[in-house]
Amino acid sequence: MAVNLIAHDTRLEGRTPSASRDTFTITVNESTTLDDFFEQALDIAVLHAGIRRLSIMAHGLYVRDLDTTAIQFCSDLISYQTVHYFSRLRGLVDHIVLYVCHAAETHMTRRSEGDELCRQIAITAHAEVTAARERQEYTSVERCGFFDCESTPIEFGNWEGHVVRYDRDGTVLAEFVEHPNPPDPAPARPDPRFTMRY
């Protein structure tokens, strides 16, 4: 039975969400190679008859000297030079979700390279890809007791701004705008817990 896989680059601060019976996790950092990551992901995919959803949690980067964008994932980065690694998962993953700021950007570079990188990931992996065009917010709360501190797992919540879903051939399946939740309206009647004192 196919499983879910969460891949977290620890340079994105916060605790990796917990694994479960049908969700596996892989943590990577600046010393992990893309080769090592894809070898682990391939092992999981083969052992469990595929990956339903591969969630990649990392920072998005703008490389000023090259006027391009990339994903800060492993030591190699995910970029045009490394997108070929996704061919290892071709036919083994259904959906890739990029929890990455500006992953599908169209305005940061002259050639809309984030958008094109997402298309190439979809084509190379033969998987649907969901990514945001704008900055994404996430939460991770640290709670400290007398002896130690513990942080909650990273939670991305709702998407911010424009989000794109690419088909396996790189065409856009859907594009939508996620609006932030409006603040709670002021109460219509005065709340007795908050009495003004004069």
Higher pLDDT, residue 140 or 103: 103
Quote the pLDDT of residue 63.
Answer: 81
Quote the pLDDT of residue 39.
Answer: 98
Residue 13 CB neighbour total at 10 angstroms: 11
Tell me the DSSP string of 113-144. Answer: HHHHHHHHHHHHHTSEEEEESS----B--EEE
Q: What are phi and psi of 19, to 5 degrees?
A: -80, 160
Higher pLDDT, residue 52 or 140: 52
Higher pLDDT, residue 162 or 4: 4
Q: State both tokens at 60.
A: 């998005």
pLDDT grade for 180, boundaries at 50, 70 and 90: low
Domain ranges of the chain: 3-178
Higher pLDDT, residue 59 or 135: 59
Spatial separation of the C-alpha atoms in residues 136 and 32, rounded to whole Å:
24
**Count of CA atoms in the C-beta half-sphere (13 A) of 141:** 1
Quote the pLDDT of residue 120.
Answer: 97
pTM: 0.82
Spatial separation of the C-alpha atoms in residues 151 and 118, rounded to whole Å:
31
pLDDT at 153 over 50: yes
